[in-house]
Structure 1
Amino acid sequence: MFDAWKERQRQRLKNRPERTVFYNIFATMMLVLVVELLMAVASILAVNVTGQLDENAKDLLTMRVRNRASYVQEILRNAEDLDQLSEQITATTQQLLKSGDISLDTLDNSSEQSDALLVALAPQLLDTLRTKQVTGIFIMLNTHDLDTCEVGKKMPGIYLRDMDPDARPSERNSDLLLERASATVVKELAIGTDKGWQPAFPYQGDTKGGILRTVFQTAYKSGASLSAESYGRWTTNSYCLAGDDRHAIAYSMPLILPDGTVYGVVGVELLTDYLQTKLPFTELDEDKAGTYFIVTTTDDALTDGVLSLRKTVTSGEDLVTADAPLGVLNCRSDGNGGNWAELNGKRYYMVLEPLLVYNRNAPFAAEKWFLAGTMEQSVLLAFSDRVREVLLATLLFTLVLSVLGSLLISARLASPINHLYREVIDAQEKKTFPRLSRTAIREVDRFAETITELNKELVTNSTKFLRIMDMASVEIGGYELRTDTGSVFVTDNFFSLLGKPEMQGEPLSVRRFEEVLKGIREKNPCDHTAEGDELLTIQQPDGVRYIMLRRTIEGHAKIGLAEDVTAAVLERKRIEHERDHDILTGLYNRQAFNRVCTELFAAPERMGVAALMMMDLDNLKHINDTYGHDWGDQYIRRTGQCLRDNTPAGTVCARLSGDEFLVLFHGYRSRDAVREKIDCLTNAMQQSVALLPSGNALHISLSGGIAWYPDDGQDWETLKKYADFAMYQVKHADKGRVEEFDIGVYNREAYAERTRREFRQLLSNAQVFYCFQPIFSARSGRVVAYEALMRSDLPTLRSPATIMKLAREQGALYEIERITFTKALETFDSLCRAGSVSGDAMLFVNSIANTCLSHEDGKYINSHWHELCRRMVVEITEEEEIDYEALERKRNAPGFSGMFALDDYGSGYSNENTLLQLAPRFVKVDITIIRGIDTSPDKQQILRNVVAYAHPRSMKIVAEGVETAAELRTVIELGADLLQGYFLARPAIVPGDIAPEAAAIIRELQRRKKD
C-alpha cells in the first residue's frame, strides 16, 4: 500500500509543469518589481500630486476672480443705489406739479415745462454724479406708452458725463461734459458740451442700449405695482450714444409718482474703458495670459450642461470668435465649480463669480451677472504637466535598471543550483544515492544534507501514522481518487460510517464512487459549515449519527475524510437551545430573537409585508403580589403556550423580560393578511383562562403595539422602537388593546420632549446670550440707552416667546428672571469695559411683571454691577393682572435706579390703566402703532395723545420699531423723545452706530426747527 502511495506521489510531481531555477528567480524578481512599480504608481495616484497641482492652480485663479468680483460688486451696488435721488426727483416733480409749472400730459412735449423741471433737477444729478463712482448720469422724461411712440421722437432729458470719476472734481465742473441737454439747461449749468451733443434724446424704439424702453415699459405695463428700485435694470449689451464711439453700460430705473404714474427714467452709466481699468487682467497671470469678462445670462440659458453667456465688458485679450458677433460664450461646468470653454480654437478654464445686481423677486431677476476670469489651459496647468513628465521619465528609467539587475542576480543564484541538479541526475542514472557537492550557500547545502535523512525516515513515519489512526478513539474513514490513473482507495470503515456497509470491499471506479457518494448526500440531510465542509445526518439502526465529510484536491488526487461527530453535534445543539430559548416559556429569548430578526431583515425578499408586535402582560404584578410568583410564572407560561399554539409556522416569538413579549409576523403579501393572524392571536389570548387559587378565572390580558415593515421602518431597531412607543401609548390610555403605530403622534411627542429637554438644559447651563439694540435721542441722534434682547442658539428654543411659554408651564419664571438680569448685566458690563458701547448710556432690561428676585439675588446683582444698576431701566409688559406689590419690591431692590418702562404700549397688553398704575419713566409705543404711522391719521392721533399725556408728567416717549424714513420723520414731528428700530440700528452682540440715513434725517428736522 505504501509503495502505491509513493508511486502516486511520484506521478503527481512528474506531471507538474517544469520551470528552471533561473526562470523562477527572475519571474519572482519581476513580480516584485511590478508590485513596487504598481505601488509607486498607486502612491502617486493616491496622493494625486499633479491633480492637486491642477486644483491649486484653479483655486488660485478662483481666489483672484472672487476677490476682484467683490470689488466690482461694490462698484455696481454703489452705482445702482439711486433710491435717494429718485425720491428727491419725485419730490421736486410733485412741487412743480402742485404749483402748476408743469403738467404730466405735456411734460415730454413742452420744452418750457421740461426745461423748468430739468433745471430744477440738474443740481441733484450733479451732486449724485460727484458722490458715485460712475462715468455718467442721465434722466429722460416721458409719460406716454412707448408702444405708440414714433421712432425718432425727441425726448427731453439730461445726459451728464465725467470721463475720469477717480480724479479730484473740478470746482467749476470743467471736467464734466453734457451729452444730452437743451440749450436752456446747458446755459443754466454752464457745463461744456461734448462733440456728439444733442438737445434731446431721439427715441430709438426697441434697439440696443435699452436705457429707456425696457425699464419704462415694464413699470408702465405693470401699473407700477412695485417700488421704483424693483424695476431697476442694467443693460446687458454695451451701447454708444449717437455721434459718440465710447461704449458704456448703464443702470436705469423708472421715475414713479405716488399715484403710480411713470414719468421717465433716471440712471447712471459706466464706460467700458473705465470698467476695464477696474479689471486688471495682469493680476490673473504675470505673462498677461488671463482675461476678465463681465458676462450675463438668463435662467433658460442652461441647456444640456452648456451655459451660454453674453459678454458685456472685456479686460485683456478678447477671446470671442469671429463667428460670434454678439459676444456669446458657451462653457461647460467641470463639476467642481469651474467651467471649460473652447474659444478661438483653444481650451480655456473659466471661473464665474456671481454679481448680485437684482433682488430675487425683481422683474429682471432672471438676468444673471457674473465676473468671469479665464486662462488658457496650457498656461494654467503648465507646472503640473512638467511634474507629470518628470515622474513618467523616472519610472521608465527605474524599470530599465531593475530588469537588467534582475537578469544578473537570477543568473548568479541559479548557477550553483543547476550544478546540484546535474549531480542528482547523474546519481539517478547510476541508481546510486547522490553525493551532493557544496555550493557555499548555507541553505542549499543544509537542504542537500537533509535529503538523505528524510529518505531513511519516510517509511518508518508512514507506518507509525497508520497505527495511530487505528488506535484513535474517534471513528475516521477516508478515500483517495486518482483522476489521472482512475484508481480508488477507500478505508475499510468509510461506507459503514455513511450507512452503506454493503459497499465495503466492492471494486469501484472513480465514476461509480462519486455516484454512490452523491446518492448518500441526496438521501440524507446535508448541511454545510462555514469552512465549506459537509455535515451529514445519517439514520442508523442505533439512532441518528452526524458525519463530517471533508474534501480537498491536490493535483490529480481527490482526498476525502469522514469523521463521526455525533457527540459534539448533540452537545452543541443542547447548548444552543439553552442559549436561545427562555426556560419558562420555551420561546426565543432576547439574544436569539435579535439574531433571528437581524438575519431576516438582511434578506428583504423573505420579509414581504411584516409586522412587529410588542406586548406587555397587564395583570402580572397583581398576580405576583396577591398569589405569589409561582402563580405569576404559571400566567407567563400560559401566555407563551398561547403564542406557540396560535401563530403560523415561521412566526418568530420571544419573551424579552418578565412581562414583555415580541412577535414578528413576516412573509405576507398585505397588511390585511397579517391583521387576520393578529386577530386570531388576540382572540385566542382572550379565551385562554388561568384558574387562580381564589377560584376566579383570569383571562390573559395584553397591551400591545404594532409597527409595520417596510412602511414604518426598514430596520429592526426602528421597528422595535416604534412598536414599543405604540404599546406604551396603549398602556397609558386604555389597557387590554393592541394599537398600530402612528408616526404623527410619535413626532409630536418626540418634539415636545426635545423642547422640554432643551429648556432644562437652558436653565441648568444659563444657555442664553444677549444682543443689544441702541435707543437714540430724537433731538441729537446720539445713543441714550441700549435694550438687552434675549437670544438662544438651541434648535427648538430660538424664540424668546417659546422660552417664556415653557417657563410658565413648568413654573420656572423665577429662574428666567434671575438669568435675564445676571446675564444681561454681565454681558453689558463686558461691552462697557471694552469700550464697545457708550459709557453713560442706560440699559433697558425686560422683566416679568409678577416675578420679583429674592433679597439675596438682589444683593448679589448690586454687589457685582452697582454702577450699572443705577443706570438700569426695567421694562414691564402687562400680559396678565399685574401684582403691584411685586412691582414695588422691584422698585426698592438694592441699588436699583427705580426707573420703569411700560413696554408694548398700544398693543393690547399695556393700556391706559397700566400707565396710570405704574407711572413709568418711559413709555414704549408698540411697533403696531409705529408701523405705517406716516400714512395713518388714526395712529398719528394715538401718538399725539400719549405725548400730550406723558410730557407734562416727565415721562419720555420711545417709538419702537421704526423701519422707514417716513416713519422716522413722522414720529419725530409728533413729539417722540427716543427712537428704536431697524432703520436706525439693528440688534447685535456688539451694537453699531446710527445709520447715516437716519442721522441725516434727524439733523435735517432739527435744522428746520431752528430755522
Structure 2
Amino acid sequence: MQNRKPHSQKAPQTGHSIFGTILFSLLAVLAVEFLLLTFAVHATRLGPQLNQNAEDILAMQVDNRSRYLQSIFHDAQELTSLSDAINGLTQQLLDEGEISLSTLDSSSDAAYPLLEAAAPELISTLRIKSVTGVFLILNTHDLDKRKQDSLMPAIYLRDLDPDAAPSQRNADLTFVRAPAQLVQSLSIATDNSWSPTIRYRALGNRGFLYPPFQAAYKDGASLAASDYGHWTSQSYLVPGDTHEAIAYSQPLILPDGTVYGVIGVELLADYLWENLPCSELQNNGTYFLAVTDTEELSASELQLCPVLRSHCDGQPGSADESLTLRLHSAHTRRYLFSNTLYIASVSPLNLYSRNAPFSGKHWLLVGSVPAVQLFAFAQRLKQLFSFIMLITLAVGFVCSWLVSRRLARPVAKLSAEVAAAEADSSAIPHLSATGIRELDQFSSAFTQLSKDVLDSSTRFLRIMKLASAELGGYELRDDSVYVTDNFFSMLGLAQEQPDPLTPKAFRALMGTLEQRWFYRLSPANNKVFAIPQPDGSTHYITLRVTHILGESASEVGLAEDMTTTVLEQQRIEHERDYDTLTGLYRRRAFDRACEALFQQPEKLGCAALLMMDLDNLKQINDTYGHDWGDQYIRQTGQCFAANTPANTICSRLSGDEFLIFFYGYQDQAQLRAQLELLSAALQRSVSILPNGKQLHISISGGIAWYPTDGHDLLTLKKYADFAMYQVKHSHKGRMCDFDIGSYHQEAYAAQTQQDFERLLQEESVSYHFQPIYSARSGRVAAYEALMRVDLPTLHSPAQVM
C-alpha cells in the first residue's frame, strides 16, 4: 500500500475544544431552561390573563353602576301621578271657563290660572324625586308651524341639591322660568337666568319640548302619555344659565286626545356625576352617557353619540362627536380618542318600552380607561419577570464558565500529550494519568488500540490478496491520500498517476475518470465505469465510496472488477428483450417501449399500429421443413429492421405474428407513404426454395390509427388485430385500415351466435296455442303451436331459422 501525503503534514485544527464543548453544553441547558420557563409563562397566559381580569373588573363595575343609574332614570321618568294631577286641574279649569285651549299658549296671563294651580304639584314632584329640576310648558298648536323665538307660558323649577333636607319655605328652590306674579305669590327665589316665559328655539329632536309633543300631536295621541316620553339625546344649557343638564319630558294629553303641553324633569350633569364617581373605575377612568341607533349592541362596531362625559377629576366634560367602539373581547370594546387607545365597557340603560316612538334610541353607560393604565400592572409584572430572567442568565453564564474550566483542564493536558506523540508516527503513545477514572481508561484503551490497528492493517492486506475478484481502494483525508498499488491501473489511469499525490490532484484525477468512462449507477447507487483495455475488451469497475465522519473525517473508496457480472447481466437483458431469431423486440419489451411513448403524447403526433401475419408459413413448414420456415421468419424480420425509420418500434409477437408501431408523423398521408415503402421492400425481398422457386414475402396486416381509432395501446392492438383478421379471411397479402362499422357488425354477429347457443342450452322458447276451426262444423278441429322467443338479438322465428 502506498502512503502519499501533501506537503503540509500538520492537520488543520477543526471542531471545538473540550472547554468550548462543555461550556456550550451547559449554556444549551441554561437556554433550554430559559425557554421552558418562558414557554410556561406564555402557556399559562399570565400576562393576557391579568389583562383579562382587569377587563372583567371594569365590565363588572360598569354593569353595577348602570343598574344604579337606571334606577335613578326610571324613578325620574315616572310622571304618571303628576300628569294625571295636571290633566285633572286643566279639565276643571276648562269646565269652569278659567282657561281656553285656543288661547292657552298665547301668553302667561291666559295660562296663569293653570300655572298657578299646577305649581304645587310641580314642587311636590321635585321634593319626592331625586331630580334637580321639573318643568311645565304649555302649547296647543303644531310646533312645525310655530315661529322661532316665540314666547311660551312655562314653569321651570330647580333644586341644585335634591339629596339635602328640603326647606319648609322652599328657600332651596329657584325659578328658572315662571310668570312674575307666580314668583311673588310663592315667594321662591329666581335663578340668574330667570325669565317669565320660555322662548321657543325650534331645536327639533334635540330639545325637550319638540320630540314628545310633536310625536303625540302627529300621532293623534293614540298612545299613553308615558309612551311618548323622551330623554334629550344631547346635553343642554338653559339660555343665560351655566348648568349643563339632560331632561326627560312627556306630553300632556286630555281625555279627548288634546295635546296641550309637556311636563318633564331635569338631571344636572353635576348631580349625575356625583352618583357616578369615575374614581371607582380602575386607574380613574372616564364615565360617559351615550346614545346609539345600532339595533344589535353586540355588533363588532358600535357607533355612539356621547351625551355627557365625566373626567377623572370628578368634573363633567363636554360631549364629543360620535365615537366608534370596536369589539375587543367578550365584555369590552376599544376606541381611539386624542391618539390614545381606550378600553371601554358598555352597559345598556333600558329607558323606553319596546313599542314607544323613541325605542330606537338606545341609551348606554360607558366606562373607559386608557389601555396603558388598565394594563399597567401586567406590564410592570412583565418587566419584573424579564429583569429576573436576565439576572438568572448572567449568573448561569458565569457558573457555566467556571465549571467548564474546571472540567476541561485534565482533558487539555491529555490532548497535549497526544499531540506531542503524533510527531513520532512509528512509536506507540504512552499517556500519563490524569486522576480521572474515565480519562485514564481512555488513555489505556487508546494505547492498546494503536497496537491493534497495526495488526489489523497487516491482516487486511493479506485478505485482499486472497479475494477472487480484483480489489483496490483509497482513503482520502484533508491532508493526505492512501491508495493501493493496483488502484490506478484498475481504473486505466496508471500513466496519469500524479506525483506527488496530493488531495487536490487526486480529486481532479477522479473527476477526469467520471467524465471519461462513467457507464451507469448500480442498483445500490454506486458508480460503474467502463474501462477500455488494450486488447479491445472492456472491463467494468464498481467504485463504492463511504464518508467517515468525526474529528478526523475521511473518504474511503473500494474499486471492484465486476466485468463478469455486468456482461452476464447484459446477456440476460438482451435475451429477455430481443427475439433470438429476428433480432426484433419481444412482446414485453415492445409494450414497455410503447407505454413509455404514450406517457408523452406530444411525441406521438400521428401514429399507427400495424399488426401482421405471414401468409403460407404452415405450407412452407410442411413442405420444406421448419428450418426453411425459420429462414422465412428471419428474412421478414430483417426486412422490417432495414426498411423502417428511427421513429418505429418493431416486434415479433410469437410464431408468424409481427407488430410495428409508427409514430411522430404530421398526418396520415406522410405515414401512408412510409407504409407503401415498407410494402414495396417486402415485395422485393426474395428467397430461393430448395426446388429452385422464388418465394416473395407475403403478409396480411391490419392498421389501427392514433388518435383516430384509439388513444391507448390496448385499443389499438384490438382494432389492428380485427383488421388483420378481416384481411386474412378476404384478401391475403394486403394491409387494410380498421373499419369501425365492420367491427360492430362482427360484434353483433358474435352476440347473435351466443344468444342462439343460449336458446338451445336453456330452451328459452315459449309456445302459444291458437285454435283452428272447421269451416263445415264450426268446431275446433286442431291447434296451431306458435313459437315465441325473447332474447337480445333473436325476436322472431325467422331469425331463429
Preserved CA contact (<8 Å) 1:308 1:330: yes
SS in 2 for 1:59: helix
Residue 434 of structure 1, CA deviation: 0.9
Distance in 2, Cα, partners of 1:408 & 1:370:
65
Which amino acid counterpart does residue 334 of structure 2 have in structure 1?
N
Paired position in structure 1 for 2:28:
31
Q: Does 1:310 align with 2:306?
A: yes
Residue 356 of structure 1, CA deviation: 3.2
In the TM superposition, 1:85-100 aligns within 5 A as 85-86=82-83, 89=86
Paired position in structure 1 for 2:422:
428
Q: Does 1:109 align with 2:106?
A: yes
SS in 1 for 2:423: helix
TM-score, with normalisation over the residues of structure 2?
A: 0.52
Which protein has the larger Cα radius of gyration, Structure 1 or Structure 2? 2
Distance in 1, Cα, partners of 2:516 & 2:164:
105
Preserved CA contact (<8 Å) 1:178 1:191: no
Paired position in structure 2 for 1:418:
412
Change over 3 Å in CA distance of 1:30–1:514 after alignment to 2: farther
Q: Does 1:439 align with 2:434?
A: yes
Q: Deviations over 1:223-252 (max 9, x none)?
A: 657654444322233333345433321012
Preserved CA contact (<8 Å) 1:216 1:254: yes
Preserved CA contact (<8 Å) 2:47 2:378: yes
Preserved CA contact (<8 Å) 1:479 1:559: yes
Distance in 2, Cα, partners of 1:152 & 1:433:
121
Paired position in structure 1 for 2:528:
none
In the TM superposition, 1:218-229 aligns within 5 A as 218-221=215-218, 228-229=225-226
Residue 62 of structure 1, CA deviation: 3.3
Which amino acid counterpart does residue 435 of structure 1 have in structure 2?
H
Paired position in structure 1 for 2:657:
none
Distance in 2, Cα, partners of 1:265 & 1:123:
17
Preserved CA contact (<8 Å) 1:296 1:312: no
SS in 2 for 1:152: coil
Preserved CA contact (<8 Å) 2:310 2:316: no
2:188 to 177, 192, 196: 192
Preserved CA contact (<8 Å) 1:208 1:239: no
Preserved CA contact (<8 Å) 1:232 1:252: yes
- RMSD between superposed Cα atoms in Å: 5.9
Preserved CA contact (<8 Å) 2:289 2:308: yes
Preserved CA contact (<8 Å) 1:135 1:164: yes
Q: Deviations over 1:239-294 (max 9, x none)?
A: 33345433321012233457765432221111222222212233336xx8444333
Preserved CA contact (<8 Å) 1:294 1:372: yes
Paired position in structure 2 for 1:357:
351
Change over 3 Å in CA distance of 1:154–1:462 after alignment to 2: farther
Residue 71 of structure 1, CA deviation: 0.8
Distance in 2, Cα, partners of 1:75 & 1:90:
25
Residue 413 of structure 1, CA deviation: 1.9
Paired position in structure 2 for 1:335:
328
SS in 2 for 1:430: coil
Paired position in structure 1 for 2:150:
153
2:382 to 384, 388, 399: 388
Residue 72 of structure 1, CA deviation: 0.9
Preserved CA contact (<8 Å) 1:486 1:509: no
Paired position in structure 2 for 1:60:
57
Q: Does 1:43 align with 2:40?
A: yes
Q: Deviations over 1:84-141 (max 9, x none)?
A: 6546655665676677765443332265663444455555545544443222222212
Q: Does 1:398 align with 2:389?
A: no
Preserved CA contact (<8 Å) 2:229 2:248: yes
Q: Which moves more between the two structures, 216-225 or 416-425?
A: 216-225
Which amino acid counterpart does residue 348 of structure 2 have in structure 1?
P
Which amino acid counterpart does residue 439 of structure 2 have in structure 1?
V
In the TM superposition, 1:806-817 aligns within 5 A as none
Distance in 1, Cα, partners of 2:176 & 2:456:
117
1:205 to 199, 202, 205: 202
Distance in 1, Cα, partners of 2:223 & 2:118:
24
Change over 3 Å in CA distance of 1:247–1:236 after alignment to 2: same
Paired position in structure 1 for 2:401:
407
Distance in 1, Cα, partners of 2:101 & 2:460:
122
Residue 364 of structure 1, CA deviation: 4.3
SS in 1 for 2:432: coil
1:21 to 18, 22, 25: 18
Which amino acid counterpart does residue 413 of structure 1 have in structure 2?
L
Q: Deviations over 1:447-478 (max 9, x none)?
A: 2222234445568889999999xxxxxxxx99
Preserved CA contact (<8 Å) 1:248 1:270: yes
Residue 197 of structure 1, CA deviation: 4.2
Change over 3 Å in CA distance of 1:485–1:254 after alignment to 2: farther
Residue 422 of structure 1, CA deviation: 1.8
Which amino acid counterpart does residue 279 of structure 1 have in structure 2?
L
Residue 69 of structure 1, CA deviation: 1.9
Residue 424 of structure 1, CA deviation: 1.3
Distance in 1, Cα, partners of 2:764 & 2:224:
84
Residue 444 of structure 1, CA deviation: 1.6
TM-score, with normalisation over the residues of structure 1?
A: 0.43
Paired position in structure 1 for 2:159:
162
Change over 3 Å in CA distance of 1:559–1:74 after alignment to 2: farther
Which amino acid counterpart does residue 248 of structure 1 have in structure 2?
A
Paired position in structure 2 for 1:272:
269
**Same amino acid, percent of matched pairs:** 38
In the TM superposition, 1:547-626 aligns within 5 A as none
Distance in 2, Cα, partners of 1:168 & 1:437:
104
Change over 3 Å in CA distance of 1:255–1:387 after alignment to 2: same
Preserved CA contact (<8 Å) 2:177 2:198: yes
Paired position in structure 1 for 2:447:
452
In the TM superposition, 1:248-267 aligns within 5 A as 248-256=245-253, 261-267=258-264
Distance in 2, Cα, partners of 1:305 & 1:115:
51
Distance in 1, Cα, partners of 2:221 & 2:429:
113
Distance in 2, Cα, partners of 1:236 & 1:201:
20
Distance in 2, Cα, partners of 1:480 & 1:145:
114
Residue 193 of structure 1, CA deviation: 4.2
The count of corresponding residues between Structure 1 and Structure 2 is: 532
Unaligned runs of 5+ in 2: 464-470, 484-489, 494-508, 526-543, 559-710, 713-753, 766-801
Distance in 2, Cα, partners of 1:83 & 1:445:
105
Q: Does 1:245 align with 2:242?
A: yes
Q: Deviations over 1:598-624 (max 9, x none)?
A: xxxxxxxxxxxxxxxxxxxxxxxxxxx
Q: Which moves more between the two structures, 153-162 or 206-215?
A: 206-215
Distance in 2, Cα, partners of 1:185 & 1:478:
131
In the TM superposition, 1:754-765 aligns within 5 A as none
In the TM superposition, 1:917-956 aligns within 5 A as none
Residue 511 of structure 1, CA deviation: 8.7
Q: Deviations over 1:343-363 (max 9, x none)?
A: 5x8776544433333456655
Distance in 2, Cα, partners of 1:151 & 1:435:
118
Preserved CA contact (<8 Å) 2:270 2:316: no
Paired position in structure 1 for 2:565:
none
Unaligned runs of 5+ in 1: 469-476, 490-503, 527-532, 535-548, 561-647, 650-687, 698-1011
Change over 3 Å in CA distance of 1:152–1:311 after alignment to 2: closer
Change over 3 Å in CA distance of 1:440–1:123 after alignment to 2: same
Distance in 1, Cα, partners of 2:547 & 2:255:
97
